[in-house]
Amino acid sequence: MKKNFIKILILMVILILSVSCVKKSKKIRIVLDWTPNTNHTGLFVAKDLGYFKDEGIDVEIVQPPEGSTTALIGAGGAEFGISFQDTLAKSFSSDAPVPVTAVAAIINHNTSGIISLKEKGINTPKKLEGKRYATWDDEIEKAILKKMVTDDNGNFNNVKMIPNTVTDVVTALRTNIDAVWVYYAWDGVATKLAGLKTNFLKFVDYGPELDFYSPVIIANNDYLKKNPNEAKKVLKAIKKGYEYSIQNPEKAAKILVKNSPEINPKLALASQKWLVSQYKGNAKKWGEIDKNRWDLFYSWLYKNKLIKKQIPSGFGFSNEYLE
């Protein structure tokens, strides 16, 4: 009986030691900004191919809340999320900025702009005069549009601003809506797949100040302060996920659809191929944010009285977690 007791004791010690040696994964939440699309592919790739697990991190990719993803991250409701430089502006210029930091650019340059059916003849900003533009009635949105039209010697007051939150651009362009702001990688590619002939006025073609970062990965400031090394591991896995997506667009698109089966596989693949040259762009490495470009956009907003006070140079982003 004594021998059996010793055997049981030894087995218990071995079990305890083996459990203590298992690398426990830390639970990290990443909140999306919208329903899953190719902006998010690298996240799903990193999770599906075990890149997070390799870093000892258990990641949950969370659907966006009804309110603001940025506010949720700032309040500590999650560690990471997806946002945009333009939507961060009003917070960063307030007396009490939401405590978040942009830690990586998902796409290197701004690929958004105004799309319209070719038959409408809107091939320059001035030709938006007299046309119906679907607006979500945001001051920065309208200021960008006004700059483009005015710089093209047009009268912005003659643009018909129609309050409308478009969720299906292909359908909207087939109605009485003439022009819509789109992120070309998804909605622009969707119009092409639908066989629509379009004109696209890309923002970056109308001024370097419009080449803002859209979208970006943000993180809670308190989390970053307390867990800098862990944050770097999260970003390391995410970076690897986007680099895989650049090198393997077909496989990456399949992973995205696998995780979000409601997505049209043809759109996912076409969009993924289009983004191959856009994710990293001309940056030295994926995710890197250029301080001059970041500051230029915020300076333009301040000069045009679109934010209450000037945002300090370099405020609101960091490249240090991409090391």
Q: What is the DSSP string of 185-232?
A: IIIIHHHHHTT--EEEEEGGGG-GGG----SEEEEEHHHHHH-HHHHH
- Would you call the peptide bond into 64 cis, given omega within 30 degrees of 0 as the criterion? no
Q: Is residue 1 part of a domain?
A: no
Confidence of residue 65 (pLDDT cuts 50, 70, 90): confident
Mean pLDDT of 63-86: 93
Domain count, the chain: 2
Measured CA to CA, the distance from residue 131 to residue 145 in angstroms comes to: 13
Give me the percent of the chain exceeding a pLDDT of 90. 89
Question: pTM (2 decimals)?
Answer: 0.90
CATH number at residue 142: 3.40.190.10
pLDDT digits (tens, 9 = 90+) for 48-57: 999 999 999 9
**Do 102 and 250 have their domain in common?**
yes
The neighbouring-strand residues paired with 181 are 114
**Do 185 and 117 have their domain in common?**
yes
Confidence of residue 164 (pLDDT cuts 50, 70, 90): confident
Length of the chain: 323
**Do 32 and 97 have their domain in common?**
yes
**Do 304 and 221 have their domain in common?**
yes
Last residue of one domain, picked from the residues 167, 185, 210: 210
Comparing CA positions, the residue from 203, 207, 179 lying closest to residue 191 is 179
Mean pLDDT (the chain) is: 92
Would you say 266 and 49 are in contact if contact means Cβ atoms under 8 Å apart?
no
Confidence of residue 39 (pLDDT cuts 50, 70, 90): very high
Last residue of one domain, picked from the residues 210, 231, 256: 210
Q: What is the pLDDT of residue 13?
A: 33
Domain of 136? 112-210
The neighbouring-strand residues paired with 105 are 216
Q: Is residue 13 part of a domain?
A: no
pLDDT digits (tens, 9 = 90+) for 114-150: 999 999 999 999 999 999 999 999 999 999 999 999 9
**Do 217 and 316 have their domain in common?**
yes
Mean pLDDT of 215-244: 98
Q: Is residue 12 part of a domain?
A: no
**Do 129 and 267 have their domain in common?**
no
Confidence of residue 67 (pLDDT cuts 50, 70, 90): confident
